[in-house]
Amino acid sequence: MENRNFFLLLCFSLLPSLIFGTRNVYIVRVDNDLKPSIFPSLKAWYTSTLHSLSATSTTTFDQNPNANPSDNSGLLHVFRTVFHGFSASLTAPEADALRTTPGVLSVIWDQPRQLHTTRTPQFLGLVSGSTSKPNNLISSANAGAGIVVAVLDTGIDPTHRSFSAAGQPSPPSKWKGSCQVGPSFPATSCNNKLVGARFFATGFKAGGTSKNGSTDILSPYDTNGHGTHTASTIAGCPADGASFLGFAAGVATGIAPRAHVAVYKICWSGGCFESDILAAFDSAVEDGADIISLSVGGGPTPYHLDSTSIGAFSAFNYHGVLVSASSGNDGPGAMTATNIAPWITTVGASTIDRRFPADVKLGDGTVLSGASLYSGKDPSVDKWLPLVYAGNLSSLRLGFRSSAPFCMRGTLDPAAARGKVVLCERGVVKRAEKGLAVKEAGGVGMIISNQFLDGEGVVPDAHLLPAVDIGFSAGKKAHEYIHTTASPTVRLSFHGTQIEVKPAPVVASFSGRGPSAQSAFIIKPDIIAPGVGILAAWTNSSSPTELLPDERRTEFNILSGTSMSCPHVSGISALLKATHPDWSPAALRSAIMTTAYVNDNLGRDLLDESSGNRSVEWAHGSGHVDPERAADPGLVYELSTDDYINFLCSSNYTELDIRTITRTAVNCSQKTSKPWDLNYPSISVMMNQPVPTSSGNFEIVVHRTLTSVRDANSTYMASMKEPSGVHMVIVPDKLVFSRKGEKQQFVVKVSANAGRLQAGTSRTEFGYISWTDGERRVRSPVAFTWHQSF
């Protein structure tokens, strides 16, 4: 019923575009201090502002069918907490008129964002912190009890046993969240594990449409699976006998298995809308969440135009809430990291020491190794079969020719594919969907080959037919073999789950990478965490491939993406917050970053899956998260709101733009620092050529302040590794602390020779600085970039 109403609303939303020109949802930021006193409430003022607009345009807001039917104000959302203002459905001229209205600070188009598994829309798996390996952090944190993690995602399947309340203490008394009931989501859905659930569909209803064939249920219920997966990764209680179709069998448990989950459903089949994300930030902060986890992102837009960054600023600075977010799946190219504001903990993805190996044996005896989650008992497996390249199978229709190599549905000629194993290229369509295309064309098996940019990273998929994903160099061999052999043949074999894989971790090819598209002076991502082949809970109303013809239902699913790595850091943050309730979000993030490790389980430098070479900081940030060491960092880099304002001023954001983010008036003429002086736990400096000094040497001084988090007398000594071609001096090189909360300052003098670069190019070298008291190590990567502008 509810569901039908929803689609009805979507149909109506087409009307105004036809009659009055295209409407879009806009987020309007307002200076609430300017509210004239004649208006009894902000809402009344906003409504009046909107009505005055419509008087001068061709429509009135009363006719807007997108508006909440219970009032005719035209307002969609009123934001109160992390943001001041409202959202409304407007035509472009109306939006322009609003921009010049007194009291209005900014008007931003409400863009849809995507879940971070979209590039690798496969089904990966997670075995999180194991209960058989008790560790100190888990016990000192009481497994996260008393900490509420807000999960902004596709909702949750509350019937999953990962969200059972057994043994779960009550939420903290400050918790004010509520349980919004609706279809498939009765009041009994919430309990001491799932302490809050809401949904935010206003932006979506006004600005989006449901994907063909998808069911959007207007309640916090998760019809997709992604939100159930991320929530259980954070705080799922232990579930015995878990596996995905037999893969990765064992106990499934969240990272903080006694933490509380509050679900804010912001993603629908047609996307996740900025205004809904902002409204969810508002609610999560008002409700009293301690951590916000967001595995959703769009492009790396300027901070004041990005609702995630605006919402996260208030959460971090005014409400003490750490925001952990995914760096996106658009790697391995440069500047692909998203959710990069300096007050967000940006999480990239890496492999774990588990994989799902499968082999491709070519007729000439060559064996290529890959990965697969294919689990069927298909009789065609493990025998010699004819092999063909999808690009040679195109059905003759011209428009489809270039799609065939990617195995899009309907592009493969069944007469040519029947009974064969088909080699498809990775990209363009979801990998599992390629399997469906081959199956529909009568193929009996499939190989998916990485393209050059995908490198050697393979993501295991729960294919509907026997299929293996292989890396770029293996793919080249398969291509060569097919194109030089008269009757190529192949044999696929599947080897289940392998653990203790070395090397691990390895930075995932798809993980969004720096440098930051918004600031050269902040290394992003901040940290990497497990994000490949992660097993976690799944909804029982969606198949593990999310493909409609896939009728399988599984209790768990194996997924890969930074969507999976972000909830690991959210769960770790919950444990740290439970252990150290007095730590600020800046202290929590500093602890996570400065204790990260940069060596794999062979003791070598972390590798990058995309190249097979050593990974750099643009890929792994400060390194791989190390929860036990993060619990006892010794020293942290604290950050205040003023530090961030100074950073934004020195980054040349205008006072108006900064006000959009901070909600307070700022005066940049008082700025005191350079952007590299933000007291961030990592350091990035850039030399813009031509060199500004006469000597040909370039020097900058980087300021940092450390705060002790231990009540102890301790002496820390500095050490460092200089980036190649760079000279560094740390002054002083010894810091003495005698109590918790004590602060000490130091500077890093960084100098380098100009060198020569071609116009429009840059080059970065990496090093680090580190403080140690003999037991603890507080490490910060240093990036030095030479940049030659055009």
Provide, rounded to whole angstroms, the least separation between the CB of residue 142 and ligand NAG.
26
How far apart (Å, rounded) are the C-alpha atoms in residues 493 and 46? Answer: 64
| 480 near ligand NAG, judged by CB under 6 A | no
State yes or no: residue 487 binds ligand NAG (CB under 6 A). Answer: no
Q: How many residues form the binding site for ligand NAG (CB under 6 A)? A: 23
Q: How far apart are CA 640 and CA 509, in angstroms?
A: 35
Which phi and psi (to 5°) does residue 668 adopt? -75, -10
Count other C-beta atoms under 10 Å from residue 676's C-beta. Answer: 23
Strand runs labelled E in 516-666: 527-530, 534-537, 556-559, 607-608, 635-636
Interface with ligand NAG in residues 727-746 (CB under 6 A): 738-739
Selected from 11, 34, 712, 731, the binder of ligand NAG by CB under 6 A is 712
Residues pairing with 599 in the sheet: 605
Task: Name the one range near ligand NAG by CB under 6 A: 102-110, 622-630, 664-672, 765-773.
Answer: 664-672
| 563 catalytically annotated | yes
Sign of CA dihedral 540, 544, 547, 549: negative
Give the position of tokens 């295309």. 437
- Please tell me whether residue 713 binds ligand NAG under the rule CB under 6 A: yes
* Shortest CB 221 distance to ligand NAG, Å: 7
Smallest distance from ligand NAG to CB 646, Å: 12
Considering only CA atoms, give the Rg of the chain. Answer: 27
CA dist list (Å): 239 to 162, 231, 560, 587:
6, 14, 20, 32
Question: Active site residue: 89, 106, 110, 153, which one?
Answer: 153
CB-count exposure of residue 253 (10 Å: 0-12, 13-18, 19+): buried
Which positions from 607 through 626 interact with ligand NAG, judged by CB under 6 A? Answer: 611, 613
Q: How many helices (H) and strands (E) does the chain have?
A: 18, 39
In the complex, least distance from residue 622 CB atom to ligand NAG, rounded to whole angstroms: 22
Active site residue 153: yes
Near ligand NAG by CB under 6 A: residue from 473, 670, 761, 789: 670
Smallest Cα–Cα separation from 726: which of 748, 695, 703?
A: 748
In the shown chain, the binding pattern of residues 161 to 200 toward ligand NAG, with x for contact by CB under 6 A and - for none, equals -----------------------x----------------
Provide CB contacts within 8 A for 63, sequence distance 6+. 16
Among 2, 62, 711, 763, which residue sits at the site for ligand NAG (rule: CB under 6 A)?
Answer: 711
Closest to ligand NAG by CB, 489 vs 540, is 540
Query: Which amino acid, one-letter code, is at 543?
Result: S
Q: Is 392 in the site for ligand NAG (CB under 6 A)?
A: yes
| From candidates 178, 541, 689, 772, binder to ligand NAG by CB under 6 A | 541
| 157 in catalytic set | no
Q: 52 and 88 in contact (C-beta within 8 Å)?
A: no
Nearer to ligand NAG, 2 or 711 (CB): 711
What is the rounded distance in angstroms from the CA atom of residue 119 to the CA atom of residue 122?
9
Residue nearest to ligand NAG (CB): 611
Comparison of 713 and 715: residue with beta carbon closer to ligand NAG: 713
Quick note: the x/- pattern for ligand NAG over 501-540, rule CB under 6 A, is ---------------------------------------x
Amino acid identity, position 132: S
Which residue stretch of 385-393, 408-416, 446-454, 469-477 sits at the interface with ligand NAG (rule: CB under 6 A)? 385-393
CB burial string 633-642: b at 16+ within 10 A, e below: bbbbbbbeee
Residue 652 engages ligand NAG in binding (rule: CB under 6 A): yes
Does 651 bind ligand NAG (CB under 6 A)? Our answer is yes
By the 10 Å C-beta count (0-12 exposed, 13-18 middle, 19+ buried), 747 is classed as middle
Closer CB to ligand NAG, 158 or 298, in the complex: 158
Give the pair of three-digit tokens for residue 112. Answer: 């849809």
Near ligand NAG in 199-218, by CB under 6 A: 212-213
Mapped onto helix, strand or coil, the DSSP state of residue 341 is coil
Nearer of residues 49 and 394 to ligand NAG, judged by Cβ: 394
Q: How many CB atoms lie within 10 A of CB 759?
A: 8
How near is the Cβ of 483 to ligand NAG at its closest, in Å?
6
Catalytic residue among 77, 84, 116, 226: 226
Binding ligand NAG (rule: CB under 6 A), the pick from 667, 693, 697, 745 is 667
- For strand 726-731 and strand 697-708, is the pairing parallel, antiparallel, or unpaired? unpaired
Residues of this chain that interact with ligand NAG (CB under 6 A) are: 159, 184, 212-213, 389, 391-392, 483, 540-541, 611, 613, 651-652, 667, 669-670, 675, 711-713, 738-739
Q: What residues act catalytically?
A: 153, 226, 563
